[in-house]
Amino acid sequence: MGTPVNIIVGSHVWVEDSELAWIDGQVSKITGQEAEIESSNGKKMVVKLAKIYPKDMEAPAAGVDDMTKLSYLHEPGVLQNLKTRYELNEIYTYTGNILIAINPFQRLPHLYDGHMMQQYKGAPFGELNPHVFAVADVAYRAMINEGKSNSILVSGESGAGKTETTKMLMRYLAFLGGRAATEGRTVEQQVLESNPVLEAFGNAKTVRNNNSSRFGKFVEIQFDKQGRISGAAIRTYLLERSRVCQVSDPERNYHCFYLLCAAPQEEIEKYKLANPKSFHYLNQSRCYELVGVSDAHDYLATRRAMDIVGISAKEQEAIFRVVAAILHLGNIEFSKGSEVDSSVPKDDKAKFHLKMTSELLMCDPDALEDALCKRVMITPEEVIKRSLDPQSAAISRDGLAKTVYSRLFDWLVDKINVSIGQDATSKSLIGVLDIYGFESFKTNSFEQFCINFTNEKLQQHFNQHVFKMEQEEYTKEQIDWSYIEFVDNQDVLDLIEKKPGGIVALLDEACMFPKSTHETFANKLYQTFKTHKRFIKPKLSRTDFTIAHYAGEVQYQSDQFLDKNKDYVVPEHQDLLGVSKCPFVAGLFPPLPEETAKSSKFSSIGSRFKLQLQSLMETLNSTEPHYVRCVKPNNFLKPAVFENVNIMQQLRCGGVLEAIRISCAGYPTRKPFFEFINRFGLLAPEVLEGNYDEKVACTKILEKKGLKGFQIGKTKVFLRAGQMAELDARRAEVLSTAAKTIQRRVRTHYARKRFIALRQATIVMQSICRGSLAGKVFHGMKRESAAVRIQKNLRKHQARTTYNKLHVSVLVVQTGLRAMAGRKQFRFKRQTKAATIVQAVWRCHKAAKYFKRLKRGSVVAQCRMRGKIARKELRKLKMAARETGALKEAKDALEKRVEELNWRLQLEKRLRTDLEEAKAQEITKLQNSLQEMQTKLDESNALIVKEREAAKKAIEEAPPVVQETQVMVEDTEKVESLTAEVDSLKASMESEKQRAEENERKYNEAQTSGEERRKKLEETEKKVSQLQENLTRLEEKLANLESENQVLRQQAVSMTPNKFLSGRSRSTIQRAAESGHIPGDAKTALEMHSPSINHRESELEDKPQKSLNEKQQENQELLIRCIAQHLGFAGNRPIAACIIYKCLLQWRSFEVERTSIFDRIIQTIGNAIETQDNNDILAYWLSNASTLLLLLQRTLKASGAAGMAPQRRRSSSATLFGRMTQSFRGAPQGVNISLINGGMSGGVDSLRQVEAKYPALLFKQQLTAYVEKIYGMIRDNLKKEISPLLGLCIQAPRTSRASLVKGSSRSVANTEAQRALIAHWQGIVKSLGNFLNTLKANHVPPFLVRKVFTQIFSFINVQLFNSLLLRRECCSFSNGEYVKAGLAELEHWCYKATDEYAGSAWDELKHIRQAIGFLVIHQKPKKTLDEISHDLCPVLSIQQLYRISTMYWDDKYGTHSVSSDVISNMRVLMTEDSNNAVSNSFLLDDDSSIPFSVDDISKSMEQIDISDIEPPPLIHENSGFSFLLPRAD
């Protein structure tokens, strides 16, 4: 411990701090028994030397795995070592053979896999890193080798991880001991399967933990002679029975009560249950539900667990019937009866609960009431039945509830043990004890008293074990330890359990007296223990008392001690439930022996608790103990948070500091000889120079320094407390002296070196200076001579210069005076001329201004006159247009002209047909004559050939002389005749050729003339079609004018006289009158405000208006039916959108004040996309909606009155320009007819702009909303499809990973492993490909496709990256390779999809790509923080890099994470940036917003030509939709 000798100025020490428990600093000054400390956080403090502990500056940076190796074994040293290891995720640390396990609040699967188990199997204790497997292995080896049972005691406060540690212990023991044969499940599995049942009936919410075990559990794992597991049993101890009836706020009762209240409705109705608030045993606390826990879900899980452990459905029904009966039992309230000191159920509600309790327990309700309200006293003479007062009856009720519940819990434990199976012949076992830890709250009652009593007992056992281990260590090293004192807590145990004067005995005594209260009990304690050093009476309370436990002082409130300790064993309860009709309830209360039944009714919970604890200690004493102390690092249950004060309290409660005290009582510092000499050999250099043995050398070093009380063992030096600090102080002095000597010599050397250099430099400087002075004297003489010569010449030059300046000045003055006179004269002449010009310009301006004013007046007068004349002409034209007779005459004239043109067309056709027939006949004749001539020529040639052959034969056959002459003559004649015939044939052939050429020329001329006639015919047909189109358009325009006329008439007729008085209404009527839509008599009547016109006009116009509305409704209905079908696409243009747009434009729906067509279109789209899962339908409507929105965006423009009230908008056309526009739109001559059909052929940009009214603008907004909605639905559907695959893609399949790690055997299985690894990623790629094909097939704009995939890849990035940071098993080297291969698949998909559709989607994966790139590099320790944060992972924050670096582990090559310096730098940066809430969050957020606007769509999409869109068959033949048919140019 700290002494004044140990501490010197400059020493690094630990000082106690209220916030951090301990803080390090350096001694700056020592004054007597006090020292001034400058702490690491900059504070200065003055502390007594006795309260200062030295700090080991040579401790390893990563801490030590066994704290007995610490040079200074004290509280701050232990705390700093645990903190250092916890920051590196080293959660296990030894203290001798005691294991300290700090809950990491995160999964660390690499610490518990099969490979790790194999490493610890048979390894010597302490050889490998600390681990819970090492403790289990030691226990197992000791059991096998020595044949003695062992136990492992797991302790810690709620939430410290006791249950998880117990699971790991049983897993490892099952790994060592093989598998049990029961149903193919291991014993470990069977024990763990029972956990939900035991937790439901034995766990409850406490102040610190939502799932605190309120009983002790001792799991006995039994082994046969071969060391294989042969059975197991669960022993439970010290169930907190009082919790059934009494619950403190904000705790809860046992879970099973709340689970049953959250059961399915049929169960609740069956047991007549309700909300937990309605039950007395549950509503004593205001906490009914747990955050994040579903009692209904846990109820079903508990029922499944009961099925697994072998509890039948009938038994389960009986169990929950008993639980429900306890709830109803607690609601039975009592009031005073008619007799003295009697009690009866308070009201009907109490009677109802009494009846329900009897029904659920299947007993007689009257007998139950008697058992609760009366007692039977047996005397030698008679049996007396005595009534109980309401308070005693309530105590009897609570006693029955506690008895029933405890027996139910015992039955469950027995049933689970039967299910697991015990080995009665087993001689060896390993027990794992999981029991509640030391508790100290603001309010501590009887439960905390019992729990802390248990922990005092276990601490005594722990102290004895630690002292025994110390003894074994000392004996092994053969040192004397006889004078070491043992730290014991027997005095506290005597205070609690000693008979007859202990607290438990006094409590039992007080409970047996009816008039005892908690005040009398407290006073009895004050009187009995007023001199006891462990018992303290608080100053501000009359009923509280304080006990100084080993872990600190705890103040108990005795208010409910008596009530909670009472546990009446009532024979009436036993008799009542022993004869229950329910076999299960009767089995819980077997008949007792007669002598037991007649014994005392009073039973103390404290006494029974003490007996159970004694049984537990006997079990533990019969085994070889091993200890695991679980620690909760923070109360927030968050990883990487280390609360010093909280952990110190747990180490104190867990007995770890007590073990350190025991070690400090002996020899806390133990150093092997080599380490001791290496560290302190410099204190005695002569020892190192001599050839001494290590043991002798250590002795000489210690003796030289005058230390007393140390021990030299066989391999180690044992130092008493404080001696290590004294040696370090001496060592620091020696090192300081040596450092000063070295500094003195080095400074001397440097000073002499500087002196010699300075002297040499001085000599050189002197010689240089003397030479410089001589040179200066010579230079001065030269300068003096030169100066005289310069002065002479300078004076001469100055005199000459002065004369020249004077001469020039005179000339300048003369010139200036003459110039000034000339300028003055010139200025006067210029001013005179300027005045003349100004006068002329001003007079001209006045004349011009008068002329312009006169001209403007003339023009205005002319314009007004011409306007008046034009208006008159306009009215005449409108009146003429309304004359149907003129239209009919025009129509008849056009029809006649069409008939005439048709007749001319038929005539041309007949002439053309006749001409072609004549040509064909003439050609046929020529061909026939040509064939005849050819035939004749062939015959002539054949005849010539025959004659020649005959001549040859005759020559051969005839005599040589006589006949030769004759033949020659004949031949000559024949040849001549044939030659003449050939010549004639040639002449005829030439003539035929000439005739053929003549005919061919005529044919070409005829063909040319026919072509000209055909062109004329086509032109005629075009003219006819144009005339037909004009006629059709005139008819349509006439119909529109008639409908507009009818609407205006009805509006004018339906107005009241008051409305006619307003200016806006008059302007509307005036516009209608000027347009010629109202007859003269109606106009006169309206001007006279005669109301009689309404009825007459309505009768005249009702029928035409009705037919018009019906026709319009039919057309709209047909359009809605048409677009509700899948119309497909024309090229890449959606037909439905184009049809809707053209119809709305034709019907002028954008320009009307009120219409229902927009709502019906929106409703049709909404109905179509109700099936959100069909991406094909959604993509189809996204394409149509976006195209229609584009057309509206480029066509509609908001009118000036669009934002005004409807009345204001209607009056906008009352102006001159408005009336002219209206009249031009209604002109029958077809002024803008081409804009409706032919004008669309130029694409979207050539579409005319339309001033949109309010309904059209609202329709555009609704359409925009639907585009965004459909886009979001498509995106979310894809997210839902790939989300399950993403969960599989972040972590490689275990089978595949194992096959990759096996080394030489992986070559065969590598291909299969790679296929298995990449399967999930290929599933994502397939989903993306199918989705892209769907969007392409429906011609969704590429801009929207890019946005969808950009957000989808961002979603993939967020999911994968967050999973990587939240799951440590994913943050490994092999998993990085797996994810990297998957990302390569996504990159390949992006390449195939091209930038047109994928866009920048690949860039959205930047976080996961950089994180994976960091995982798969091999040389992480060589990388600096700058390289990591700027080169490797520039996108990742420091928090993200720190988390990846600390969670990284390599299951493949064994590589390490970044260096500790980089980790430290990261911590510094995170501390500096800790105030930034955004930067502290290392997780990414998914962006589900709509990433585009209407303008973005309009800018990104190309022009759309809708002129040649063919209407669908449904409306193709309808005359009302003839405007949709494509028109010729």
Q: Which residues are known catalytic residues?
A: 158-159, 163, 209, 212-213, 437, 439
Closest CA to 408 of 248, 256, 607: 256
User: Rounded CA gap, 1124 and 1135, in Å?
Assistant: 12
Given a contact cutoff of 8 angstroms between Cβ atoms, the answer to whether 1509 and 1130 are in contact is: yes
Rounded to the nearest 5°, which phi and psi values hold at 1499? Answer: -75, -30
CA dist., res. 1156 & res. 1149, Å (int): 9
Beta strands in 494-565 (DSSP E): 535-536, 544-549, 552-557
Phi, psi of 895, deg, nearest 5: -65, -40
If you ran DSSP here, which 8-state letter would residue 780 be given?
H
Cα(1521)–Cα(1517) distance, integer angstroms: 8
**Beta bridge partner(s), residue 231:** 222
Answer for the pair 1346, 1371: CB distance below 8 angstroms, yes or no.
no
Locate 183 and state its tokens.
Answer: 């149903």
Residues 831 and 822: their CA atoms lie apart, in Å, by 15
Residue 178 has which token pair?
């093989």
Backbone angles phi, psi at 1113, to 5 degrees: -65, -40
User: Which residues contribute to the annotated binding site for ATP?
Assistant: 156-163
C-alpha 27/C-alpha 34 separation (Å) is: 10
Q: Taking a C-beta distance cutoff of 8 angstroms, is the pair 1388, 1440 a contact?
A: no
Report H helices in 389-433.
Answer: 390-420
- Round to whole Å and give the CA distance between 925 and 922: 5
Distances (CA, A) of 239 to 191, 260, 405, 493, 1451: 19, 21, 10, 20, 44
Given CA atoms 1319, 1320, 1325, 1326 in this order, what sign does their dihedral have? Answer: positive
Query: For residues 1502 and 1461, is the Cβ–Cβ distance under 8 A?
Result: no
Beta strands at 1133-1134 and 1129-1130: parallel, antiparallel or unpaired = antiparallel
Distance separating alpha carbons of residues 211 and 1340, to the nearest angstrom? 54
| 3-state SS class at 150 | strand
- Whether the CB-CB separation of 99 and 165 falls below 8 Å is answered with no
The enclosing H or E element of 1225 equals helix 1216-1225
Cis peptide before 250 (omega within 30 of 0): yes
Task: Count other C-beta atoms under 10 Å from residue 386's C-beta.
Answer: 11
* Residue 1412: partners with Cβ closer than 8 Å, 6 or more residues away: 1376, 1379, 1380, 1383
CB atoms within 10 A of CB 382: 7
**Could you tell me which residues are annotated as the binding site?**
156-163
In sequence order, the 6+-apart residues with CB closer than 8 A to the CB of 476 are 713, 714
CA dihedral angle for residue 980, residue 983, residue 984, residue 985, rounded to 10 degrees: 120
Q: If DSSP codes are grouped into helix, strand and coil, which group holds residue 1482?
A: coil
Pairing relation of β-strands 21-31 and 669-672? unpaired
Q: How long, in residues, is the chain?
A: 1529
Residue 1397's CB is within 10 A of a number of other CB atoms, namely: 18
CB within 8 Å of 606: residues ≥ 6 apart: 446, 450, 504, 507, 508, 565
The C-alpha atoms of residue 386 and residue 1501 are separated, in whole angstroms, by 97
CA-wise closest residue to 521 among 492, 561, 554, 549: 561
Residues 6+ apart with CB under 8 A from 165: 101, 132, 154, 628, 630
